[in-house]
Every structure is written in C-alpha cells, then in structure tokens.
C-alpha cells in the first residue's frame, strides 16, 4: 500500500510510530517488546530509521523485514544517503524493494558523530533533493521527505528551507513528515507557508513526547526544536530526578499538542517513540477515548 492512500479526502488522520534498530541483544529484546505493545494500538504504519553513513544498514533491513514479514505492519523505510556511493544506495533500495517495501522516506542524513574518520564517498549525494532525483526514476516507491517547521538547523533561513522542500516535492516526493516541535504554532504556520508555495501534498506532524529532561535538551539542540519557556518552567517545577513526573508531564504536553493538531485537521500524527511504548500507549488511548483519533 502506498501511504498516500491513507490521506485521501474523508479519511481519518493517520497514526504512526518511529522505531530505530537496536544495537545490542538486550536492546533487541526490549525493542521487540515495544513493538508488540505498539502493535496493539493498530498504527497505520511504522517507520524504521537508517543510521548516519549507513551505520545501521543491516540492522535497519533486518528490522524492516521482521516488521513486514513477521508482524505484518506497513513499513516506511527511512533512507539516509549521506556519504554513500550511488552503488550502495541502489543496493539498499534494491533490498527494500525485494522485501516488499513500498514506502521510503528519503533524507540526506547526518555525518556520523561516532566515526571521526568517516569520509563521504566523492560521488555521494550532498542533499536530500539529489537523493530524490536519483530514486524517483529508478524505483516505484511512494517517496516521502522530511519537513522542518522551524527550519533545518543548517538552513540559512526559513524561506530558503521551504524552497528546498518544494524542490524535493517537485522532483517527485509525495508526502512530508515533519520534525517535532513543542509549540503547535510552528507547525500551523509551516503548513500555511507550504500551501502558499503550492505545496499540496499531505504533511504529517511529528510528535516527540518528553521522556527525560536531559534527552529533551540534547535532541532539541541537535534537531533545532525550540523548547518554549513555559515548558522549561514546567519541567523546572517538577521534583528533581522524578522520572515518573517528567514522563507524565511529557504525556500531557503531547496530548495537548495532538488535540490541537487534530482540531486543525492534520493529515496524521507520527510519534517519535525512542523505542519506548508507555507514553505512546497513554497518548493514543486517551485520544481514542475522546473520539479524536
């Protein structure tokens, strides 16, 4: 199934979860438990990330295969092309196609942070738009790309970032999944600016519940997501080191965001799970109990 079928007029908003491959046997066992928990929520699809520089190439393929063939989930396979030669790009995408993958999220990817000696191949794709241009005429995948409500951290301006997004769509991408944000106004304005530029494809909102203060600060700095003063103040007011209180606040904040986005007619909600299930279970269950999802 092409994911664009989920967002036809009259359909309910989609629900999806992001997962990333485990790096250890213990992590693998934990991930499989998480997948069973999330699978009980009947997501429309799950996504599988692809590590910088191909660092999780085998793990990503194995997880995609297990999700599709054993768990029968619809899978959106991320592909990050940074640093890889076209031959490696083709090898990975050939493997996904042979597994029955129909949907791919094409992203540039980051430079590997844990491989200081990593050298990108001279023929690698410098930008996601280059990757989309390579993939589109060669594969039948339904292609998605990333969008940044607050602009990409390396973009010169929000306007230039929107032009980059439009270029990716003009080259054949068919939907957008957004980076996460903690103020819905960023997403609403982003969607309006996209529509004003003639971008009419579905735009799915990325939601990152707060799991811990340290993780939130680290990811926000890396991804360019603003942590509003009100959120910082709320976190500061919680008992120091109280993981349950922090998680509960994160759930309530994400719920408030999801309610607002659903009222705004968002195409779908994509929860960045960090390979955890507890927060997602509460968020989705509450939204369904309220008749919103």
Cite the active site residues: 18
- Across-strand partners of 291? none
Decide: 119 and 111 in contact? Cβ < 8 Å: no
Helix (H) / strand (E) element for 79: namely: strand 75-80
Cα separation, 66 vs 129, in Å, equals: 29
Structure tokens at 284: 């989705």
**163: three-class secondary structure by DSSP:** helix
For residue 166, what are the CA distances in angstroms to 125, 203, 285?
A: 18, 12, 35
| Distance, first Cα to last Cα, the chain | 21
For 75, the enclosing helix (H) or strand (E) is strand 75-80
Check if the beta carbon of residue 17 is closer than 8 Å to that of residue 271: yes
Residue with tokens 């085998």: 58
Cβ 239 vs Cβ 248: under 8 Å: no
């Amino acid at each position: 199934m092409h994911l664009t079928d989920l967002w036809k007029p009259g359909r309910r908003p989609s629900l999806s979860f992001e997962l990333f491959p485990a790096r250890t046997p213990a992590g693998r066992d934990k991930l499989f438990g998480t997948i069973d928990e999330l699978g009980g929520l009947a997501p429309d699809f799950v996504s599988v990330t692809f590590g910088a520089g191909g660092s999780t190439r085998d793990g990503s393929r194995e997880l995609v295969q297990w999700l599709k063939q054993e768990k029968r989930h619809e899978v959106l396979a991320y592909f990050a092309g940074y640093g890889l030669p076209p031959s490696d790009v083709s090898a990975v995408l050939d493997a996904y196609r042979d597994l029955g993958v129909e949907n791919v999220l094409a992203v540039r990817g980051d430079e590997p942070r844990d491989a200081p000696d990593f050298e990108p191949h001279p023929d690698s794709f410098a930008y996601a738009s280059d990757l989309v241009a390579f993939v589109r005429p060669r594969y039948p995948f339904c292609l998605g790309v990333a969008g940044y409500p607050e602009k990409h951290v390396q973009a010169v301006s929000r306007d230039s970032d929107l032009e980059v997004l439009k270029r990716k769509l003009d080259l054949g991408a068919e939907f957008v999944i957004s980076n996460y944000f903690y103020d819905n106004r960023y997403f609403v304005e982003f969607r309006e600016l996209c529509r004003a530029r003639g971008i009419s494809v579905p735009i799915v909102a990325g939601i990152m519940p707060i799991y811990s203060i340290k993780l939130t600060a680290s990811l926000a700095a890396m991804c360019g997501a603003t942590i509003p003063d009100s959120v910082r103040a709320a976190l500061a007011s919680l008992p120091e080191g109280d993981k349950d209180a922090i998680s509960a606040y994160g759930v309530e904040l994400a719920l408030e965001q999801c309610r607002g986005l659903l009222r705004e007619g968002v195409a779908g909600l994509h929860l960045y799970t960090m390979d955890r299930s507890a927060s997602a279970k509460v968020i989705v269950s509450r939204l369904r109990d309220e008749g919103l999802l």
